[in-house]
């Protein structure tokens, strides 16, 4: 089947710094790279590298041809990426020696996708396909609603976290992926425990502690350990996890198998500096000796 991913496309400007800068501090970077990123683009690349057919729905500006070319090169179907009058989105990313990061994004074209483009992009979608989105574009709820009405399974990664954005898509979701902090924020915002949310499958990532799968209908919770690695850069690791997870499910894997594959891909990703350009392919993940 096909994954339709409504998601952001960013130029990631990555500065390697000795420590994350504090307020009013000026720091000299030890290194600089420019690469492809955006939570959406990262998830599309991860899904494609995991062997799924992934159609990316999004927008870039006139300066974004390189990003579309790269996505195509990485195996993503880019025919539904619109050209916008806005500049391509970008992210300023600091990565310190402890592999911690801090990220500022400028949405640009990611916030300029038209509803007509979204409708056109989903016109070929079929029952049983999967719709994925995150919170770095507009039209998430519209996309989720349209996808649901066409019989697609709907998955949402609640990042960057915004309680209102999650609440807007919640009624349409089959799968929600979020981290521990986001889960806590969502519990505060809804007054409900995550396990009581009206979503059948919820995966909470727990960083170095692994992840938790909640199957809410039957009140079951299963924990999975993380693979042990020495982190270099955690940027895009969560996106890699989600892309691999939905690709595994789309390819018919049971949730447990998809989670193990996604956890391994996410672990390998934190050993690499960068985002979409360095997302491991399926062979790298299968061969990883941990």
Catalytic residues: 239
The nearest distance, CB 93 to ligand RIB, in angstroms, is 6
Q: Is 96 in the site for ligand RIB (CB under 6 A)?
A: no
Q: Report the run of H or E that residue 261 belongs to, with start and end.
A: helix 255-269
In terms of Cα–Cα distance, which of 289, 236, 230, 232 is closest to 264? 289
The residues, any chain, with a CB within 8 Å of residue 94's CB and separated by 6 or more, are 15, 17, 20, 21, 101, 102, 103
Q: Which residue is nearest to ligand RIB (CB)?
A: 37
Asked if 90 and 65 count as a contact pair (C-beta separation under 8 A), the reply is no
Reduce the DSSP state of residue 14 to 3 states and report it.
Answer: strand
Choices 111-119, 172-180, 186-194, 233-241; region in contact with ligand RIB by CB under 6 A: 233-241
Q: Is 236 in the site for ligand RIB (CB under 6 A)?
A: yes
Q: Is 242 in the site for ligand RIB (CB under 6 A)?
A: no
The nearest distance, CB 68 to ligand RIB, in angstroms, is 16
Q: Is 134 in the site for ligand RIB (CB under 6 A)?
A: no
Compare residues 39 and 70 and give the one whose CB is closer to ligand RIB.
Answer: 39
Compare residues 58 and 143 and give the one whose CB is closer to ligand RIB.
Answer: 58
Tokens at 127, concatenated: 């029952």
Q: Is 239 in the site for ligand RIB (CB under 6 A)?
A: yes
Tokens at 109, concatenated: 């074209």
Choices 5-13, 56-64, 67-75, 78-86; region in contact with ligand RIB by CB under 6 A: 5-13
**Residue window 161-200: x/- pattern of binding to ligand RIB, with contact defined by CB under 6 A:** ----------------------------------------
Q: How far apart are CA 15 and CA 240, in angstroms?
A: 21
Provide the CA 160 distance to its chain's centre, in angstroms: 10
**Residue window 8-37: x/- pattern of binding to ligand RIB, with contact defined by CB under 6 A:** x-x-x------------------------x
The nearest distance, CB 11 to ligand RIB, in angstroms, is 8
Conformational region of residue 74, where left means phi above 0, alpha means psi within -120 to 50, and beta covers everything else: alpha
Tokens at 218, concatenated: 């039957």
Q: Is 136 in the site for ligand RIB (CB under 6 A)?
A: yes
Tokens at 71, concatenated: 């996505």
């Amino acid at each position: 089947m096909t994954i339709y991913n409504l998601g952001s496309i960013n130029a990631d400007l990555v500065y390697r710094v000795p420590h994350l800068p504090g307020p009013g501090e000026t720091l000299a970077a030890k290194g600089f790279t420019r690469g492809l990123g955006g939570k959406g683009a990262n998830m599309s690349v991860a899904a494609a590298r995991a062997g799924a057919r992934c159609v990316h729905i999004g927008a870039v500006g006139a300066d974004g041809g390189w990003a579309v070319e790269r996505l195509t090169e990485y195996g993503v179907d880019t025919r539904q990426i619109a050209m916008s009058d806005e500049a391509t989105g970008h992210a300023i990313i600091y990565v310190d020696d402890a592999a911690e990061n801090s990220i500022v994004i400028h949405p640009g074209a990611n916030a300029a996708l038209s509803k007509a483009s979204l409708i056109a992009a989903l016109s070929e979608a079929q029952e049983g396909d999967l719709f994925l989105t995150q919170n770095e574009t507009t039209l998430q709820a519209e996309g989720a609603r349209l996808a649901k009405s066409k019989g697609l399974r709907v998955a949402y990664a609640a990042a960057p976290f915004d309680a209102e954005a999650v609440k807007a898509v919640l009624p349409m979701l089959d799968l929600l992926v979020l981290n521990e902090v986001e889960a806590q924020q969502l519990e505060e915002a809804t007054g409900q425990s995550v396990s009581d949310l009206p979503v059948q499958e919820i995966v909470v990532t727990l960083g170095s502690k692994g992840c938790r799968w909640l199957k809410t209908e039957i009140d079951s919770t299963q924990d999975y350990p993380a693979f042990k690695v020495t982190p270099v850069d955690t940027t895009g690791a969560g996106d890699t996890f989600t892309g691999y997870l939905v690709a595994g499910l789309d390819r018919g894997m049971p949730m447990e198998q998809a989670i193990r594959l996604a956890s391994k891909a996410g672990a390998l990703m934190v050993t690499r500096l960068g985002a979409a350009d360095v997302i491991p392919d399926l062979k790298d993940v299968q061969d990883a000796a941990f």
